[in-house]
Amino acid sequence: MSKNLDDVSFPEEGFDSFPERLKEIIGTATLKDFAAAVGISEGGLRKYLPPARSVPSFDKVSRFARYRGVSLEWLSTGEGEKYALESNSSQEIGKEFALIDGYHSTIDQISDDEYAGEVRRRLAFRKKWLSWRGFNPDNLKVFFVKSAVEGGLINGGDTVMIDFADRVLSDGAFALKLKGATVIRWLVVKVDGGVDVHADMNQASIESLSETEADKLNLLGRVVWLGKDLS
């Protein structure tokens, strides 16, 4: 069965030995620690290690390579030098991907300013996808939510990308200040200008705001991408 090469990290002929190279760069690190560092689940990482034969996406392979400082070409195909010059590696990835700053944060630390904290790692997103969605990478930030969160749209351990340039009130998920606290809520604008606030898009509203109250909402930005572990 053929594969769309845009959806995988490398041509099939380079895949047979990839699991061994991935195992090599993981080295003595635990699978849990390595997986957390590159932003995937431990179970997801195991799919790419011997004897598994799952094909990782280009995004994941680029994250593996950047985290360990190895050549993307070497990790993908086994060709070339294991360690490439940083400038060459950056140019190679930069042609197709935009690297979005990522932060380890509690919900209350989600912010578009210096209070977001230190950039812990960067996630690669295809430039074509970002352009198609109308996103400017300069306005995006990724947050690896480390705090426990009440049931709803997100949970502790989820990865959230926010477009801080989009603060126009409309239907959708937003990071906002609500009664002094930073929360992520699904908003539904009503015909009368009021807003129903939902913890999740599939749950009943937990609060209903009048038009006057809705106008006072402090929107930080729209949630445009959400990554969750399913196990």
pLDDT at 150: 54
Mean pLDDT of 138-159: 76
pLDDT digits (tens, 9 = 90+) for 78-117: 877 787 654 445 555 667 788 888 888 777 778 777 566 6
Query: How high is the pLDDT of residue 148?
Result: 56
144, 102 contact by CB (below 8 A): yes
How does pLDDT run across 169-178, given as a tens digit for each residue?
999 999 988 7
Query: What percent of the chain has a predicted confidence (pLDDT) above 70?
Result: 81
12-21 pLDDT, tens per residue? Answer: 445 678 888 9
Q: What share of the chain is helix, strand, coil (3-state, %, to 5)?
A: 30, 25, 40
Average pLDDT, integer, range 52-71: 82
Full-model pTM: 0.59
